[in-house]
Amino acid sequence: MTPLEAFRNEFFGEIDQYMAWHDGYSANTSVLDLLNDSEKSIAETELTEALQFKNADPRAVIGLGHLKSERALPLLNRLACISAYGYYAIQAIANTNPQSLDADLICQALKSGNYTLVMGLGYFFEREYIPKKVLDGLFEALSHSDYLMRYHTLDTLAKFCKVPEKIKNSVFKLIVSDDMPANYRQAIDILKKHAVNS
């Protein structure tokens, strides 16, 4: 098997999609390291086009992140707003150029309740790379109607704002129940005050 064939098999070969979705997608990125420069360019193009034409699962995003594909960054920002790709796209952006987050797109995704994106921000980004607009959007996401969105947003903000566990636990009690807007506003106020002082 040639290096390009090994790449195509690893990133486009058949897998159990349900188990990959359940356990998390992964790919043996070492096959990309075996490609020469010309072959890496081919791989980058094939991964990008497959995602553009919706013919690829998140393994292709993982591949672009490993290749640190600058030209794929606009596409990765768009994919970050799609729940199935959000976590992986955020990781790829962070690995390639963490200053390239598209704040407008990310904020739209926050309003839609894309918690996989929020998880990715918390795992792969440091606060210094988060635009103020995105940070403000995260604070507002604490009042989202979806509990999972509120939960993961709290985790991410607690990291960015260096919130002590005791305060995080008290805020969690405010956001855990649905349809409690007054509690959500209180939670936002507590975290904002801590963010100013952190």
> What pTM value is reported for the model?
0.92
User: For residues 143 and 5, what is the distance between their CA atoms, to the nearest angstrom?
Assistant: 48
Give the three-class secondary structure for 88: helix
Cβ-contact 79, 89 below 8 angstroms = yes
pLDDT band for position 198 (cuts 50, 70, 90):
low
pLDDT for 197 equals: 62
For 44, 50, 59, 88, 151, the CA distances from 21, given in Å and listed in that order, are 23, 18, 11, 12, 21
Does the pLDDT of residue 126 top 90, yes or no?
A: yes
Cβ-contact 89, 113 below 8 angstroms = no
Does the pLDDT of residue 168 top 80, yes or no?
A: yes
Does the pLDDT of residue 196 top 70, yes or no?
A: no
Q: What are the φ and ψ backbone dihedral angles of 161, each rounded to 5 degrees? A: -100, 5
Domain ranges of the chain: 101-198
Percent of the chain at pLDDT exceeding 90: 97
How large is the average pLDDT for residues 50-71? 97
Q: Report the Cα 59 to chain-centroid distance in Å.
A: 14
How large is the average pLDDT for residues 80-95? 96
pLDDT band for position 81 (cuts 50, 70, 90):
very high
